[in-house]
Structure 1
């Protein structure tokens, strides 16, 4: 009898402890970066250096959406706080940047920028088992093989280069394509994307040449590719290096169809290259920010005008805004009792969600697919802005 009473008392104690633990806030249960009132998110990006436009705009866009959500009361009554740290788009600075975020005990990561830096962060993310949502890069290694803790929002560089080569080959009937790329993982992943896309047409680039990353030492690469007389040339790099290539080429009378991917930072490229950007084709992963008939673009513009009135809208900050929307949707679906796995499963539960970005950009995840958007939007620079198109014949008059 006595043993029975003791056993019953022990069972009740266990039940009480379990109930008490379940009612504690996430932080009291050991979930870093979460309190009753706040969720900490960490970001590493280029806030300094020659490519800082990409990092600062990404962070501004993300913060803008966080302000919208916080003004509405937060996510499950918790406000969002973004801790952003600089890695200058420099792989050598990635470990220090990541460690800084870990010391600040963030709950999750988001809004990272760049391929050379991104590939350095992957093992850090995986070893710390912390979700990373939204990277301003389309490097294939982030998509395949599936990485449990990496949740991409944008379409990949392979998606972008496939759109480019299909348009060039099928519509423009160009048969000679060159590639100029930086000597880093960004350059090699886009080059590989072009090669794979051309292989589908039984072809390959007629010439490729590289240049030292984050420099304007591009003369030799230009000369090498120009010697093969390509009709179209894919330029790989951020706005500062692509500007140098385009201006140098035009100054020496070389004017093939120049094409580049979304990472370039379209708006800054147009500002720096000026008239030399006219006629360039740039594939985008979000719609132009002036298409305010789209619900999310309109929200983005109103939010930027309210919280960042001195900032010009851009493709980059719009992408940061959209990435933040996806992170917030995942947090909402994860529920009040936040865990890393809960966030991941929350995002994986998003199926064919209309994000207010037009029919091409429908958000779709699963346990075996961590790429939210599958489509890209080709644009051509006309009159100082990137104009979307469906028919590649528009690029024939570049």
Structure 2
């Protein structure tokens, strides 16, 4: 059954998924912003996850049981994310999967703890999900702090000395700010300007002038895809060619589309190899599955695909009738699992999984070039 985005029919559809028409299923729950400012990236993440889940189910599932992904739309609202997570827990989901964004993911943590339920592959690099280790959170990507630090390092190696910083005024933005500050310290630089932006409705009339006044050569903009795309348009409307760098939460085809004519030259950090790096068997495999569905890989699709591979491997190791407890134990005992050129390892003191970080630039065709 295809992934469902449940709105007003949530209760009926979720009940149907749980009943499953007589077929034994393993229920996995997802809450993410299928509408709202991160919708494009969420769709691509989920499409990537479905590539692998559908392939596994087509081969008979796990010990003869289908993996059923039921998705609820939280509109990127932390309160709704918490409610959705509890709804999924109450109805028997053995894990949450592929949440999106720092504030919504933070909002589901109490639900994980109360229900002893693991979360696999949150699509956020928030340090709070890495340190201190949360026994129920299993990350499959590097931290935002590492990305932001690497972005500043990269700009410095290009000879860029004057760098401004814009960050969302929330836990995600502050997390990125901390990483950027590490990069500035290592490069022995100070930002020309540090500006907070409202998470939902940035005021570009208050953001662009200070960037211009600081004579910045580049700006690291930490925010949602819509917010950053609008920021780039506002900068270009002000007739400035200042370079714009953003983080991997915006590594999606939807972000490039939102940038429109201003996409070329925007730098985006990445937490997976290029979707055209065929030296990685994971990329080869995902490419073939995507072709069958007439999809074109993007970094966001690849992230969802990798998260699904880790989830499925955990389920396989959790026994014929996986539970929340056996899945949590199986994931924590996972050592050097080969995604297809990248290894994932977890342990009681480390739930990061992967630390790969790189940079890309949007080329004239709208692709992320490395």
Q: Could you tell me the TM-score, scaled by structure 2's length?
A: 0.88
Give per-residue Cα distances to partners, 1:136-180, cap 9 Å, x unaligned.
1101111111000000001110121121122222x2232222111
The answer to whether structure 1 residue 354 and structure 2 residue 335 are counterparts is no
The answer to whether structure 1 residue 272 and structure 2 residue 258 are counterparts is yes
After TM superposition, the structure 1 = structure 2 runs for residues 67-78 of structure 1, keeping only pairs within 5 Å, are 67-78=54-65
Task: Answer yes or no: is the 8 Å Cα contact 1:180–1:222 preserved in 2.
Answer: no
| Deviation for aligned residue 1:387 | 4.1
Given the superposition, is the C-alpha separation of residues 305 and 91 from structure 1 closer, same or farther in structure 2, using an over 3 Å criterion? same
After TM superposition, the structure 1 = structure 2 runs for residues 181-330 of structure 1, keeping only pairs within 5 Å, are 181-306=167-292, 308-309=293-294, 311-330=295-314
Task: Answer yes or no: is the 8 Å Cα contact 2:89–2:115 preserved in 1.
Answer: no
Q: What is the root-mean-square deviation of aligned Cα atoms in Å?
A: 2.2
Structure with greater Cα Rg: 1
Task: Answer yes or no: is the 8 Å Cα contact 2:30–2:96 preserved in 1.
Answer: yes
Task: Answer yes or no: is the 8 Å Cα contact 1:270–1:384 preserved in 2.
Answer: no
Equivalence for 2:100: 113
CA distance in 1, matches of 2:368, 2:98: 25
| Deviation for aligned residue 1:228 | 1.4
Task: Answer yes or no: is the 8 Å Cα contact 2:251–2:268 preserved in 1.
Answer: no
CA distance in 2, matches of 1:59, 1:167: 30
Unaligned runs of 5+ residues in structure 2 are 1-17
CA distance in 1, matches of 2:99, 2:281: 25
Out of 88, 93, 96, the residue aligned to residue 83 of structure 2 is 96
Give per-residue Cα distances to partners, 1:45-83, cap 9 Å, x unaligned.
011223211222222221221111111111122210001
Equivalence for 2:361: 380
| Deviation for aligned residue 1:292 | 4.0
After TM superposition, the structure 1 = structure 2 runs for residues 161-200 of structure 1, keeping only pairs within 5 Å, are 161-169=148-156, 171-200=157-186
Moved more, 335-344 or 277-286: 335-344
CA distance in 2, matches of 1:187, 1:319: 21
Task: Answer yes or no: is the 8 Å Cα contact 1:59–1:84 preserved in 2.
Answer: no
User: SS of the counterpart of 2:306?
Assistant: helix
Equivalence for 2:5: none
Given the superposition, is the C-alpha separation of residues 226 and 126 from structure 1 closer, same or farther in structure 2, using an over 3 Å criterion? farther
CA distance in 2, matches of 1:291, 1:201: 30
| Deviation for aligned residue 1:206 | 2.3
Task: Answer yes or no: is the 8 Å Cα contact 1:33–1:40 preserved in 2.
Answer: no
CA distance in 2, matches of 1:304, 1:126: 36
Out of 54, 77, 85, the residue aligned to residue 72 of structure 2 is 85
CA distance in 2, matches of 1:166, 1:216: 27
Aligned pairs, number: 352
User: SS of the counterpart of 2:289?
Assistant: helix
Give per-residue Cα distances to partners, 1:227-264, cap 9 Å, x unaligned.
21122210112221111111111121222221110001
Given the superposition, is the C-alpha separation of residues 161 and 90 from structure 1 closer, same or farther in structure 2, using an over 3 Å criterion? same
Equivalence for 1:334: 318
Moved more, 136-145 or 74-83: 74-83
| Deviation for aligned residue 1:303 | 2.0
Given the superposition, is the C-alpha separation of residues 384 and 219 from structure 1 closer, same or farther in structure 2, using an over 3 Å criterion? farther
Give per-residue Cα distances to partners, 1:370-390, cap 9 Å, x unaligned.
01111112111122334443x
Q: Could you tell me the TM-score, scaled by structure 1's length?
A: 0.82
